[in-house]
C-alpha cells in the first residue's frame, strides 16, 4: 500500500466529512486503512480536530488575506485551513513544512491554479500575520469571541446572557483544549494503582487521578486506548469523570432492579453494575439494536455477565416497577464540544428547543417505569438550561407524583447546582459539561 502522510489523511477527512460521516469515524477509517506509526496517527488526529475546532477563526484569516472575493474550492479552502492551523497553533511545525506540503496537497487533490492560490495566501500570512485585526471586544463582544475563540455566534450570544465576557471566553477556551482520555477503573477486576502501573508500562502519561473520589484516571500519550492490555482485558472503561458522577447521583442499592433507558454506548450502565458489585438486575435498554450491541460488547469485555439487554423506545419503555431508572437523555451535546470536534458547527439554536420537547417526553415516561418510592435520575451532556433544569421543572409542574431529591450528600459540593441538582462546567471543573437531577416517585 502506498505511503501517506498525516497531513494528507487530515486533508482527506476535512474534504470528505461534511454531510457524509462524523469526522472522528472517518479519520478512524483512514487510520485503519493506512497503517501509520503512533506519532503520525497522533498528528493526524491533532490536525483534524484542531482544524475543525478553529475553523471560524481560520476562515476569518483567509478572508482577510484574500484580495479577491472569489469562491474557493473545498480542496483549496481545506488545504488553507489545515496549513494555517499548523502555522497559527503548532509551534513545533516549521513554517516551510506546513506551507510546502499544503501547496503540494492542493496540487495533488486540485490543480495548479488552486495550488498557486494556496501558496499566495500562505506566504502573505507569513508576511502579514501580525497586522491582522480581529473584531473589537468592546464594540462587538459576540463577534469578537465567536471569531477569536471559534464558536458559532448564536452560542456565544446565549452564554453572554448567563456569564460575563471573561467567563464566556474561559468556557470557549476550555472547549478548544485537547482533552485527555478519561478512564474509569473497573474495580471488580483491578485497583487504581494496578491500572496506573499497567498503563504507564505501555507508554501512557498519567495526567490526573481520582476526580471527586472516583476511581478515575486521565491519560495522554496513547495512540489508541483499545489496543492496551488494560482495555482488552476489561480493566478499564473509557468515560469522562463527569459522566461517571451520574452513577453517584443514582447511587443504586444492591439487589435492586436498575434500568438505563438510553444506555448506548454503555459507560453509565456498566458503571451501575460495578456500583452494586454485580448484585442486582441491571437492564441496558436502547432504541437502536446496533447501538445496544456496543453496550453488550462493552459489558462482555468488562466481565459484567449478569447484565440484561433490551431494545426499547425510551418514550414508550416496556418496563415497570423499577427501583432505579436512569435517563441519560439525547441532547445537543453542548457540554462536550472539546471531544466532539464538529458539534459546534452541526448544531443550531432551535435544536435546543427541539431536544427539550423530546427530553420532557422521555422523562415523563421514565417516571411511570419507577415503582412508588423509586428513583429516577435525569442527565444530559448539555450545559443549556432549557435541556436541564428547564426539563425537570416542566415535568415537576405537570406531575404530582414526583419530587426533586437533593443530591448534595451524594456528590462533591463543588458540582452541586441550584435546588440540589448537579452541573459540571468545562472551564470550572476541567471535565465535560454534565447535568443530573435525582427525582423520587412519591
Active site residues: 381
Burial 42-79 (b: 16+ CB within 10 A, else e): bbbbbbbbbbbbbbbbbbbbbebbeeeeeebbebbbbb
Residues in CB range of 352: below 8 A, 6 or more apart = 332, 382, 384, 386, 387
The C-alpha cell of 273 is what? 453494575
What distance, in Å, lies between the first and last C-alpha atoms of the chain?
Answer: 64
What is the DSSP code (8-state) at residue 262? T
Residue with cell string 449478569: 306
The C-alpha cell of 433 is what? 459539561
Cα–Cα distance, 376 to 373 (Å, whole number): 10
Cα–Cα distance, 405 to 377 (Å, whole number): 10
Please name the helix (run of DSSP H) or strand (run of DSSP E) that holds residue 377, with its range, or none.
Answer: strand 370-380
Q: Reduced to 3 states, what is the DSSP secondary structure of residue 307?
A: coil
Cα–Cα distance, 10 to 57 (Å, whole number): 18
Cα–Cα distance, 278 to 269 (Å, whole number): 11
Amino acid at each position: 500500500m502506498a505511503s501517506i502522510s498525516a497531513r494528507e489523511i487530515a486533508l482527506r477527512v476535512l474534504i470528505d466529512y461534511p454531510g457524509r460521516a462524523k469526522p472522528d469515524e472517518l479519520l478512524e477509517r483512514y487510520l485503519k486503512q493506512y497503517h501509520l506509526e503512533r506519532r503520525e496517527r497522533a498528528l493526524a488526529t491533532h490536525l483534524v480536530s484542531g482544524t475543525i475546532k478553529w475553523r471560524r477563526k481560520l476562515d476569518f484569516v483567509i478572508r482577510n488575506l484574500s484580495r479577491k472575493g472569489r469562491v474557493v474550492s473545498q480542496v483549496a479552502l481545506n488545504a488553507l485551513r489545515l496549513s494555517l492551523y499548523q502555522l497559527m497553533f503548532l509551534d513545533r511545525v516549521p513554517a516551510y513544512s506546513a506551507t510546502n506540503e499544503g501547496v503540494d496537497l492542493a496540487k495533488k487533490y486540485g490543480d495548479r491554479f488552486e495550488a498557486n492560490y494556496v501558496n499566495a495566501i500562505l506566504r502573505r500570512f507569513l508576511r502579514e500575520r501580525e497586522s491582522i485585526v480581529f473584531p473589537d471586544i468592546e464594540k462587538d463582544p459576540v463577534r469578537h469571541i465567536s471569531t477569536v475563540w471559534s464558536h458559532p455566534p448564536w452560542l456565544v450570544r446565549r452564554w453572554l446572557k448567563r456569564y460575563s465576557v471573561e467567563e464566556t471566553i474561559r468556557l470557549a477556551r476550555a472547549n478548544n483544549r485537547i482533552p485527555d482520555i478519561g478512564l474509569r477503573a473497573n474495580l471488580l477486576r483491578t485497583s487504581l494503582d494496578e491500572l496506573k502501573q499497567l498503563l504507564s508500562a505501555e507508554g501512557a502519561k498519567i495526567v490526573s487521578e481520582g476526580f471527586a473520589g472516583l476511581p478515575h484516571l486521565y491519560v495522554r500519550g496513547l495512540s489508541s486506548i483499545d489496543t492496551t492490555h488494560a482495555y482488552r482485558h476489561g480493566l478499564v472503561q473509557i468515560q469522562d469523570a463527569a459522566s461517571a458522577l451520574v452513577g453517584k447521583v443514582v447511587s443504586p442499592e444492591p439487589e435492586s432492579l436498575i434500568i438505563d433507558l438510553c444506555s448506548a454506548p454503555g459507560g453509565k450502565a456498566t458503571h451501575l453494575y460495578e456500583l452494586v458489585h454485580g448484585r442486582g438486575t441491571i437492564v441496558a435498554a436502547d432504541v437502536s439494536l446496533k447501538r445496544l450491541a456496543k453496550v453488550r460488547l462493552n459489558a462482555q469485555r468488562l466481565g459484567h455477565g449478569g447484565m440484561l439487554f433490551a431494545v426499547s423506545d425510551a418514550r414508550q419503555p416496556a418496563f415497570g416497577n423499577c427501583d432505579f431508572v436512569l435517563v441519560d437523555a439525547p441532547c445537543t451535546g453542548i457540554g462536550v464540544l472539546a471531544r466532539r470536534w464538529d458539534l459546534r458547527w452541526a448544531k443550531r439554536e432551535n435544536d435546543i428547543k427541539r431536544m427539550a420537547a423530546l427530553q420532557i417526553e422521555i422523562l415523563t415516561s421514565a417516571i411511570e417505569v419507577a415503582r412508588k418510592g423509586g428513583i429516577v435520575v435525569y442527565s444530559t451532556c448539555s450545559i443549556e438550561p432549557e435541556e436541564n433544569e428547564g426539563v425537570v421543572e416542566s415535568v415537576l409542574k405537570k406531575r404530582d407524583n414526583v419530587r426533586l431529591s437533593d443530591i448534595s450528600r451524594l456528590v462533591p459540593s463543588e458540582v452541586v447546582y441550584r435546588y440540589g441538582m448537579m452541573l459540571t462546567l468545562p472551564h470550572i471543573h476541567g471535565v465535560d459539561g454534565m447535568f443530573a437531577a435525582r427525582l423520587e416517585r412519591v
